Amino acid sequence: MRVAVIGFGVIGANVARSLAIAGASVTLFERSGPATGTTGTSFAWINAHRKEPLAYHELNVAGMAEHARLADHLDRTAWYFPNGGLRWATEGTDTANLHASVQRLRERDYPITWITPKQALHKIGDLRLPANVTDLAYCPTEGHVFPVPLLGRLWAEAREHGATLCQPAEVVALEEKPGAATVCLHGGGRHEFDVVVIAVGQWTEALAGTAGITIPMTSPRQPGSAAIGLLGYTCPLPCRLNCVLTTPRLNLRPDGGGRLVFQALDLNIKVNPATPPTTDGPLAQQLRQRLADVLAGTEYAHLESLRVGQRALPADGHTVAGFAGDHSRLYPIVTHSGITLGPLLGRLATAEIIHDRPQPLLAPFRPQRFHSPMH
């Protein structure tokens, strides 16, 4: 089977790898370069927190397990760090929220335990616990990945199974006829395939629309959009952090070589993608202060960069995966939490595309829910 995969982010790379291993002849089309989209600016926390409703939670839990399986198969050292996730609440509504979240996760058998400040300090040696921290919880099955090394591993395996990369290659339109789909490139090239996987993240609405498929996406270009997420990247720092830490004021994780990545979700509202914040501006100062408040050794942190991440966020917040219609040869696949979900979605999509086996986990997430008039 000849399959085109459009987009070399974490979704496209996972789908290309799984399809190639399953024996498909895979061509990956990428406009700019690997990880030049959302995958290159991701917090990359492997988790299933606040994923509602239950079907979406279960998809993310399965996504976490799939990372462990993938890591057992590939060399895990370069990209996968299943070192757990630690979070805390401070006085006020935060505490009630954390308690509600822990209760809900326990009802769903998600591993999460209350820990003491001493245990937290044992896990993160340089932790600074603010005085108003009320509760601490730890999730042992969570972790984080380094997205670019992950793409490298995925693509190496896809290539070893015969996948080829067309880059730079911008797909400007998709066409369908019975049993086949055509990829139309900027500059005039046309290539026919048995199936085309649309894995272009935040650009899904426009590209799918060229074939009459409706997938509304949240625009990441408006200030205040839920699709905007600012990430700070530090220069190498002499501090100890080897797991994900999420707090009401700052989330952080290691990024390799002593660097840290962090985000302050409440400050995203201040970010205007048209005028991105600079590493020496007031927002950067605020972030640096928050960092020093929670981790010793970061007081003199230099910010290597501040990056405005743009989430691939379907309008209803949930994953889209599946053929666009009963006889369609186009398979859109787009999601937030794509780092957590990528390996799982790659395997499930392959089972549907190559083996014609509908996957129950994907049943609630079909593109048809947006009532495309053409399919």
Ligand X SMILES: Cc1cc2nc3c(=O)[nH]c(=O)nc-3n(C[C@H](O)[C@H](O)[C@H](O)COP(=O)(O)OP(=O)(O)OC[C@H]3O[C@@H](n4cnc5c(N)ncnc54)[C@H](O)[C@@H]3O)c2cc1C
CB of 333 to ligand X, least distance (A): 8
Of 8 and 138, which has the nearer Cβ to ligand X? Answer: 8
By beta-carbon proximity to ligand X, the closer residue of 34 and 294 is: 34
List all residues 6 or more positions away from 114 whose beta carbon is below 8 Å from its beta carbon. Answer: 102, 135, 136, 137, 138
Give min distance, CB of 371 to ligand X, in A: 23
Least distance to ligand X from the beta carbon of 345, Å? Answer: 9
CB of 81 to ligand X, least distance (A): 13
Minimum CB separation from ligand X for residue 353, in Å? 17
- Residue 248 or residue 338: which is nearer to ligand X going by CB? 338
Nearer to ligand X, 12 or 239 (CB): 12
Q: Which is nearer to ligand X, 124 or 201 (CB)?
A: 201
CB distance 72 to 226 below 8 Å: no
Angstrom distance (rounded) from CA 122 to CA 106: 24
| 8-state DSSP, 78 | G
Q: Which is nearer to ligand X, 7 or 254 (CB)?
A: 7
Closest residue by Cα to residue 337 from 311, 367, 306: 311
Kindly give the pairing relationship between strand 303-310 and strand 228-234: antiparallel
> Using CA of residue 352, residue 355, residue 356, residue 359, what is the dihedral sign?
negative
Rounded to whole angstroms, how far apart are CA atoms 346 and 126?
A: 37
Nearer to ligand X, 29 or 365 (CB): 29
Closest of 145, 160, 146, 148 to residue 17, by C-alpha: 160
CB-nearer residue toward ligand X: 168 or 238: 168
Residue 338 Cβ, how far from ligand X at the closest point, in Å? Answer: 3
Contact residues for ligand X (CB under 6 A)? 6-12, 29-32, 36-39, 41-45, 170-171, 199-203, 207, 229, 231, 263, 309-312, 334-340
DSSP assignment, residue 335?
Answer: -
CB 344 to ligand X: min, Å: 11
- In the sheet that holds 171-177, the strands lie side by side as 171-177, 180-185, 190-193
| Contact indicator for 354, 24 with CB cutoff of 8 Å | yes
Alpha-carbon span 32 to 10, nearest angstrom: 14
Tokens of 208: 């799918």
Q: How far is the CB of 143 from ligand X (least distance, A)?
A: 10
End-to-end Cα, the chain, rounded Å: 23
